[in-house]
Amino acid sequence: MPRPAIEHPELLTLAEGLSSRRVVLRRYRVGDGATLFAALAPHREELLQWMEWPRRHQRIEDSESYARRMNAEFALRRAMPMAILDATNGAYLGGAGFHTPDWSTPKAEIGYFLVPPARGAGVATEIVRLQVHFAFDQMLVNRVWGSCDAGNASSAAVMRRAGMREEGLLRAETRDHHGELRDTRIFALTIDDYPGWSAAYGVADRVYLAEPR
């Protein structure tokens, strides 16, 4: 059944994130900057192939500023970025979350990236699945969706493995951060899809993390 619009999303009670046996996906916290910077710095140039924002992390202070600003954005529900951490040792593996949720529909767009050492072990697929759970269980959306550059075969494969439905290819849809015209692939799930998706692809050992007060 469709969910209603959310008039005051900042009043919506949400978990701080969620975890599985091997990964934690949680809201950025004050003090995350040093860990974030240390993880990004060795791989900045590689990450810039698909994303512009790592260029702005030239010092630990830049990364700490980012962590604090993203913490505030999460509180206001304007954007909801999260850190991806190793559940065993707390190592920073990447970032994920939701770009500017549309609370009138409501719907949410997912995003994610991993630092190179964390790739190739199925972490990205699990993170997308955790985001789907968070969007439908916590944010009460009617639709969750994601997009990627049509040239980014790895990202498209992640969303397919995560069980998201490929809805189409938008040709010459935008320019990437290098100024090149690009095609965009769109993947999505709706609230009607969610029960069947959860049975087939859901993360059974997920645990929601209480939001600090």
CB 56 within 8 A of CB 88: no
Which residues, including other chains, have CB under 8 Å from residue 6's CB and lie 6 or more apart?
12, 103, 104, 106, 140
pLDDT at residue 51, rounded to an integer: 65
pLDDT digits (tens, 9 = 90+) for 9-34: 999 999 999 999 999 999 999 999 99
CA distances (Å), origin 76, targets 109, 195, 202, 210: 17, 29, 28, 17
Average pLDDT along the chain, 213 residues, taken 10 residues at a time:
95 95 96 90 73 77 94 95 95 93 98 89 96 98 95 93 97 83 95 98 95 56
pLDDT at residue 47, rounded to an integer: 73
- DSSP-derived secondary structure letter, 87: T
CA distances (Å), origin 86, targets 52, 56, 117: 25, 24, 12
